[in-house]
Amino acid sequence: MFFIKKTDLYTTYFRYEDKTVVNSTQPDVLGAKYLHKKICILTSKSTFSAAEALAYFLQEHKLAEVIGEKTPGAANPVDHFVIQNQYLLLVPTGKVTSLVSHKNWEHVGVMPDQEVKAKDALKAAQIRILKNSLATDTKTELNPSEIKSLIHRLQQ
């Protein structure tokens, strides 16, 4: 949806099968692709697993800016075991590896491009997008004066 063509993003190694799978974007999507547009992904300490993957890979491919808090860092697949109806044991069963950085976000999280508290992330993203529209002369329904006024109100 965000990539022009099919793109290999990462591999997942499954240790029980001793097998590595390449994970790619879909070459075709239903409807229009969301290309050449500014994307801001908002994160918090509760952004986890697949949501982290979306933020990580769009950020890594310079398709989105991440705004908010550093995420917890849950990249790798796990099996869940309940012990004595009291404890939950998570055992890693594989490893995700980016084909760009050759790393992942396990235990380190996704680092935002602009770190702010989660409660302030939406406002920070709105300001960032509005400032970008001024800097790039993006055509909008608002004139530059109205955009500047809106930025000023958001910053208060």
Q: Does residue 110 form part of some domain?
A: yes
CATH number assigned to the domain comprising residue 99? 3.90.226.10
Q: Does residue 137 form part of some domain?
A: no
pTM of the model: 0.90
Q: Is the pLDDT of residue 139 over 90?
A: no
Per the CB < 8 A criterion, the answer to whether 41 and 125 are in contact is no
pLDDT tens readout for residues 38-65: 899 999 999 999 999 999 999 999 999 9
Residue 31 burial (C-beta neighbours within 10 Å; 0-12, 13-18, 19+) = exposed
| Cα gap 132→113, rounded to integer Å | 15
For residue 39, the tally of other CB atoms under 10 A from its CB is 14
Mean pLDDT, the chain, as a whole number? 96
Domain that holds residue 27: 7-117
Q: Does residue 30 form part of some domain?
A: yes
Q: What is the pLDDT of residue 141?
A: 93
- When divided into structural domains, the chain yields a total of 1
Q: Is the pLDDT of residue 82 over 90?
A: yes
Q: Does residue 125 form part of some domain?
A: no
| Cα gap 125→115, rounded to integer Å | 11
Q: Does residue 39 form part of some domain?
A: yes
Q: Does residue 83 form part of some domain?
A: yes
